Amino acid sequence: MSLSLFEASVPAFERSLTAFLGVLDKAEAHAKARKFDAANYLAVRLIPDMWPLTRQIQAFCDHAKNAAFRLAGAEPPAVENRETTIAELRARIHATLEHLKTVDSAAVDAAADRDVVFPLGPAKMKMQGANYLLHFALPNFYFHLTTAYDILRAGGVEIGKRDFLGAVPGLTPA
């Protein structure tokens, strides 16, 4: 009848982060086939006053990590934004996946009934845990994930919805 808060958060982050490793593989393969440096993608923006690819990837990694730790009532480990290569961005995603593995699922589940406190710009805000996940963390995560995908897709990488979704669990012919 119901869903645990852990189930609604960490596995979705993990599926999406793992899928994006495959998107980066396709970006590198495309660059190699066209004989340009895949790192040329890192500074690409959809418009000059939006964040570039690197910052979009850092942002979705942080939204996943921070949401999981805050839901669990723990301080998210600080990660600096220093990536300057595709290999380093791939390592950032792997590090995020490792951080997610350390999150206590029972502590996350308990967040449904308490407030999550988090910084928003210069302010400190709070939200009830389930609202924080559904109306802040998930839309922010998917916003930066999709925009990173869109930058690569608009930049010629041959990716489609399946690459974005990744390994959808339990999808079988009816």
Question: Residue 83: what residue type?
Answer: E
CA separation, residue 43 to residues 28, 38, 102, 133 (Å): 15, 11, 32, 30
- Which is nearer to a copy of itself, 26 or 143 (by Cβ)? 143
Interface size with a copy of itself, residues (CB under 8 A) = 54
Q: How far apart are CA 145 and CA 16, in angstroms?
A: 8
Q: Is 51 in the site for a copy of itself (CB under 8 A)?
A: no
Packing angle of the helix pair 10-33, 86-101 (nearest 10 deg): 160
- Write each residue from 127 to 166 as x if it is in contact with a copy of itself (CB under 8 A), else as -, in one continuous string: xx-xx--xxx-xxx-xx--xx-xx--xx-x----x--xx-
Work out which of 5, 17, 86, 100 binds a copy of itself, going by CB under 8 A: 5
d(CA 41, CA 77): 28
Other C-beta atoms lying within 10 Å of the C-beta of residue 130: 16
Query: Helix (H, G, I), strand (E, B), or coil: what is residue 127?
Result: strand
Compare residues 8 and 93 and give the one whose CB is closer to a copy of itself. Answer: 8
Residues that bind a copy of itself (CB under 8 A): 1-5, 7-8, 11-12, 15-16, 46-47, 50, 109-110, 112-113, 115, 117, 120, 123-128, 130-131, 134-136, 138-140, 142-143, 146-147, 149-150, 153-154, 156, 161, 164-165, 168-174
